[in-house]
Amino acid sequence: MIRVLVVDDDFMVAKVHSGFVAKVPGFAVAGVAHSGQDALAAVDRLRPDLVLLDIYLPDLSGLEVLRRLREGGAVVDVLAVTAARDVTTIRTALRSGVVHYLIKPFTFETLRDRLERYAVAHHRLSGSGEVVQDDVDRLFVALRPVPPELPKGLTAPTAELVAGALRGAGTDLSASECAERVGLSRVSTRRYLEHFVGAGKAAVTLRYGSAGRPERRYRWTGGA
C-alpha cells in the first residue's frame, strides 16, 4: 500500500481528499494535518510515501513545508493540491520536486488518474540496481497526465467503461475479451485500448500462436 498524508487547512476539504485517496486501490490515508508544522511533524512520525500538500496553510506556506522537507532529507514525495494559480508558486513547486500540481477544485477522477500514475512510478523505483533508457522513458510517460481531449470518435464515458474493465480484470485481455466485458465491438474497443497504451495507462504484449498474426494482449498499468 502507498501511504498518503493529506495536508489541508480546511477540515472539510481534507476529509473529502482523504475520502478520494481511500477510494483508489493500492492507497491508504496515513494521516491528516491542517498546518505546516503539523505536516512536518506528521511526515517525521508517520513516514508516508506521498504527501498531498496544500500551499495555503495558516502558519507555514506549503512551499516552506516543501523546502524544509527537502533540506531535512525526508524520503517522501509531494503532490501539490492547492488553489494557488500564480506562475511563481507553480514554478517554485516544480523546481522543488513535486510529482504533480493539482489546482482546486478537481474531481475524484482527476486525482485518481494522478495517483495511479504516481503508483506506476513509485513501484518502478521501489527496487534496486540500474535501469536502461527505455525504463526511464516509460517512467516519465507514466507520470504525464492523459491529454484532456480524446482522439476523434472516442468518448469519455466509453473510455472510462473500457478502462474499468481492463483495470478490474487482474490480468491481460485481448481486444475481443475486453469487448465482451463492456458490450462493444472488438474494433471500437481496440481503439480505446490503443489510446490507453499511447497515453501510458496500459501496456501491450504479443502472444504468438501456432499460426497467423500474434494476438495483442492489453494490461492496465495506470494503477492497482
Residue 2's DSSP bridge partners are 27
Q: How far apart are the first and last CA of the chain?
A: 10
* Spatial separation of the C-alpha atoms in residues 44 and 54, rounded to whole Å: 18
CATH of domain 2-124: 3.40.50.2300
Enumerate residues 6+ apart whose C-beta is below 8 A from 14: 6, 7, 8, 32, 34
* Assigned C-alpha cell, 126: 521501489
User: In angstroms, rounded to a whole number, what is the distance separating the alpha carbons of residues 83 and 67?
Assistant: 19
Least-confidence region, from 33-37, 61-65, 140-144, 160-164: 140-144
Cis amide prior to 151 (ω within 30 degrees): no
**pLDDT value of residue 100:** 87
Spell out the domain ranges in the chain.
2-124, 146-220
Max mean pLDDT among 34-43, 74-83, 107-116 falls in 34-43
Range in 36-40, 196-200, 202-206 the model is least confident about: 196-200
Which grid coordinates are listed for 58?
Answer: 495558516
> For residues 209 and 168, which has the higher predicted lDDT (pLDDT)?
168
Residues 143/223, Cβ–Cβ less than 8 Å: no
Which pLDDT score is estimated for 41?
97
Mean pLDDT of all residues in the chain?
86
- Tens digit of each residue's pLDDT (9 = 90 or more) over 99-157: 888 888 888 988 998 898 888 877 777 666 676 666 666 555 556 554 445 778 888 78
Q: What is the pLDDT of residue 224?
A: 45
Q: What is the pLDDT of residues 158-199, one digit of tens each?
A: 888 898 899 888 899 999 999 999 999 999 999 999 998 887
pLDDT of residue 211: 65
148's grid cell: 484532456
Architecture of the domain whose range is 146-220: Orthogonal Bundle (1.10)
pLDDT at res. 145: 53
**pLDDT higher than threshold 60 for residue 66:** yes
- The phi-psi region of residue 11 (left if phi > 0; otherwise alpha if psi is between -120 and 50; otherwise beta) is alpha
- pLDDT band at residue 96 using 50, 70 and 90 as cut-offs: confident
CA–CA distance, 58 with 212 (Å, rounded to integer): 65
Confidence bin at 39 (pLDDT 50/70/90): very high
| pLDDT value at 68 more than 90 | yes
**DSSP letter at 16?**
H
Q: How far is CA 130 from the centre of its chain?
A: 24
- pLDDT at position 99 is 87
